[in-house]
Chains A and B, each alone.
Chain A
Amino acid sequence: MTSPILRIENLSKKYGQREVLKGVSLEVEKGDLKILIGPSGAGKSTFLHCINFLVKPDEGHVWLDNEEIHPARKRELYAYRQKVGMIFQDFNLFDHLTAFENVRIGLVKVKGIGKDAAGARAAQELERVGLKEHMQKYPSQLSGGQKQRVSIARALAMDPEVMLLDEPTSALDPELIGEVHAVIRDLGKSGMTMIMATHQIGFASSLASEIIFMEDGRILEQGTPSKIFNDPDNSRTREFCSKITDLYGER
């Protein structure tokens, strides 16, 4: 039996009295694309943020390549985060840097690669997401879809083993969603391991190795796309899927 590349056990998070995450566990095999669905406030985003400790979980454990991560050990945490790329809903590009510099800065400042070599790699990653001509533009000069592609290039340049994508297209105009989906689809084909929260059911069902339905801080049901979308065991899953299919269209 192969061991999972990423193992998450019993992650819990409370904000004051409110329990946002109630003991979520997940195992991810290499090359998996796990898609998180569920209503807003279900804890999908908190879950993703807890996986790389951008939000500190109150309880739980995370293993990458069978090594448990101890977030209190800073060095270990920083090394771990390099291996786990994160894509945000609102891009979070560094506003004072060009697209090119956004991708290069992690290589130079975190990996300690020389500026020339890092620059060559940055250009290569930007080309991969189709933004070669826009390298010298600042984030404010790019469209939403272009910004998100830069942020994907920025994460890829770090050579991550796993990518976490937190509703990468939900801040985009509908006509820009396709270009980002195309990049993510290519990533999936190249064997990248990903966990992605999204409402784009059509995209999810065509690509996902597993759909995970979350509600109220828990995983209610998980299974293959056809199982979850066509024949879910849980009535809440069924209700949610039919609603979201109406909204986000064709399957």
Chain B
Amino acid sequence: MPESLVAVIDAFPYLLQGSLVTLAVVAGALSFGLLVGAPLAIGQVYGGALIRRSVGLYVWFFRGIPLLVFLFLFYFGLCTALGINLSAFTVAIIVLGLISSAYQSQIIRGAIQSLPEGQLKAARALGMSDIKAIVNIIIPQALRLSIPGFSNEYSILLKDSAVTYALGVAEIMARAHFVATRTYHHFPLYFAAGLIFMILTWLGVKVLRLLEDRVRIPGYSHN
């Protein structure tokens, strides 16, 4: 067996453990992004001028700053300046989550705006407050429509998470790099890392697709 293959096989369990870290970072960031992004979307659609402008500014900021810059800014800059001690793993989730919230807010905003105007009108006509109408009528429909967008966001986050290796998060890329620099089998190791990312992308998109089918409203959504 070629030596390089042996190196990959030896390193594989170690890399797979890294994929758990990667998935934890991505799941954390996606959830964090949803929790922050959904209220942002609501604010941008239904809020007053000040709220709308603030959300616009937020989205512009977090979509405009490169991930690596933001990671360093937060981890080495902000955490040190404020004297707070957060692990690289936590910072990775927060930073990716903040950036994702900006993107997710736009996915959800698009979904909300694609709903017929009459949905909100009918809810108001029943005597619902705007908040009740948004929580009970608008959001359940908008989130369903957002799933294809989330699938896109997941695959982007997954690949972006490789950058957190720069903080020393022990995810797939960091582990591949670590083994490669010791064994000098760069090509097969990074190839294996790439392959794991591709499989994880496929898997996640598949899961979201299943979710989409599960929550589909009979006769309503396409296919």
Query: Do these two chains interact?
Result: yes
Contact of B119 among A54, A82, A86, A95 (CB under 8 A): A95
Taken together as a complex, chains A and B put the C-alpha atoms of A165 and B155 apart, in Å, by 48
* Residue count of chain A within 8 Å CB distance of chain B: 30
Can you name the residue of chain A whose Cβ is closest to the Cβ of B126?
A106
Contacts of B137 in A (CB 8 A): 94, 96, 105
Taken together as a complex, chains A and B put the C-alpha atoms of A85 and B126 apart, in Å, by 7
Within the complex, the shortest CB–CB distance from B139 to chain A, in Å, comes to: 10
Can you name the residue of chain A whose Cβ is closest to the Cβ of B142?
A96
Contact of A110 among B116, B127, B140, B144 (CB under 8 A): B127
A228 within 8 A of B: no
Known: A138-B217, A138-B219, A140-B218. A94 touches B119 (CB 8 A): yes
Which of B172-223 touch A at CB < 8 Å?
217-220
Q: Indicate if the CB atoms of A109 and B132 lie closer than 8 Å.
A: yes
A92 within 8 A of B: yes
A sample of 22 inter-chain contacts (CB < 8 A) reads A54-B124, A81-B124, A82-B127, A90-B118, A92-B119, A94-B122, A94-B123, A95-B141, A95-B220, A96-B220, A105-B126, A105-B137, A106-B126, A106-B127, A110-B132, A138-B219, A139-B220, A140-B217, A140-B220, A151-B122, A154-B126, A158-B126
Residues in A lying within 8 Å of B, measured CB to CB: 52, 54, 74, 78-82, 85-86, 88, 90-96, 105-106, 109-110, 138-141, 151, 154-155, 158
Residues in B lying within 8 Å of A, measured CB to CB: 116, 118-119, 121-129, 132, 136-137, 140-141, 144, 217-220
